[in-house]
Amino acid sequence: MTTDNRLPVISLFSGAGGLDMAVDRVADDFGSSATARVGHGPLRVAVATDYAQQAMDTLALNLSETPTITRDIQSLPTEELLEVGGISEGDASLVIGGPPCTPFSKSGFWLAEKRESRDPNASLLEEFVRVVAQSRPESFILENVQALTYKTHRAHFERLLAALRELGYNPQWKVLLAADYGVPQLRKRVFIVGRRDGKAFKFPEPTHGGPSETSKKWDETKLPHVTAGEAFRGLLTSSEPGELVEGKYGELAAEVPAGQNYLWHTDRYGGRDEFKWRSRYWTFLLRLSPDKPSSTLQAQPGPYVGPFHWENLENEQGLMRARRLRVPELLRLMTFPEDFEYAGTRADIQRQLGNAVPLELGKAVTRALMLQLGHLQPVNEIEMDLLKAAA
Torsion of CA 350, 356, 357, 363, to 10 degrees: -100
Is the previous residue joined to 358 through a cis bond, with omega within 30 degrees of 0? no
Residue 308 DSSP symbol: B
Amino acid at position 241, single letter: P
Active centre residues (catalytic): 101
Amino acid at position 153, single letter: H
In 3-state terms, the chain is what percent helix, strand and coil (to 5)? 35, 15, 50
- Strand boundaries in the chain, DSSP class E: 7-12, 43-50, 68-70, 94-97, 139-145, 172-177, 185-186, 188-195, 208-209, 223-224, 294-295, 312-314, 320-322
Residues linked to residue 70 through DSSP beta bridges, in sequence order: 50
Torsion of CA 139, 93, 369, 352, to 10 degrees: -90
Q: CA 384 to CA 377: how far, in whole Å?
A: 9
